[in-house]
């Protein structure tokens, strides 16, 4: 069993993907997005799922300006879904200007964080636990990791309290 990422750890590098404005797959390394910056990384068990779509993502979109005013340079949303699903999901938030939706299609990055969740018994395969991390210059400053299906510690408001 792998150990979960924790406060004080260096966030591991890994490649995530998205579709650009021309529907071309783009790969990006986590370190390229986080090196030398203060960044929020949050993950959800699945795109289009109720808590993720109605509460978790909207909270980060609504609080993006406040997060940025406190020095956050990037807000990254990760899910173990493919790039097409993540692009379609991102388009359901036309007001979003700041949250980047990144696909971890095979779950490799979530496994590197030690935050994978086996939901095969529910027909969902390997997914991500719900969490939010505050990362500053590649170091984890805050690790808000949910238990089970909860949504109590990983919200944008909890990250704001830590800033």
pLDDT tens figures, 70-102: 999 999 999 999 999 999 999 999 999 999 999
Record the tokens describing residue 66, joined without a space. 């406040």
Q: Name residue 9's beta-bridge partners.
A: none
Q: Tens digit of pLDDT for each residue in 131-163?
A: 999 999 999 999 999 987 789 999 999 999 999
Q: Is-contact 118 45, C-beta < 8 A? A: no
In the chain, the largest separation of any two C-alpha atoms, in whole Å, equals 42
Look-up of token digits 């068990």: 45
Catalytic amino acids? 52
Q: Is-contact 90 82, C-beta < 8 A? A: no
Within 10 A of 5 (CB to CB), how many other CB atoms are there?
21
Q: What is the pTM of this model?
A: 0.93
Domains parsed from the chain with CATH numbers? 15-162 (3.40.30.10)
């Amino acid at each position: 069993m792998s150990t979960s990422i924790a406060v004080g750890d260096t966030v591991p590098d890994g490649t995530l993907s998205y579709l650009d404005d021309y529907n071309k797959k783009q790969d990006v390394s986590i370190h390229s997005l986080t090196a030398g910056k203060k960044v929020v990384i949050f993950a959800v068990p699945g795109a289009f799922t109720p808590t993720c779509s109605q509460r978790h993502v909207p909270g980060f979109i609504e609080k993006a300006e406040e997060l940025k005013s406190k020095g956050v340079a990037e807000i990254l949303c990760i899910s173990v879904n493919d790039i097409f699903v993540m692009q379609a999901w991102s388009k359901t938030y036309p007001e979003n200007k700041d949250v980047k939706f990144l696909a971890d299609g095979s779950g490799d990055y979530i496994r590197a964080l030690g935050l994978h969740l086996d939901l095969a018994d529910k027909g969902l395969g390997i997914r991500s636990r719900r969490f939010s991390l505050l990362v500053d210059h590649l170091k984890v400053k805050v690790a808000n990791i949910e238990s089970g299906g909860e949504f109590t510690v990983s919200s944008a408001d909890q990250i704001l309290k830590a800033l």
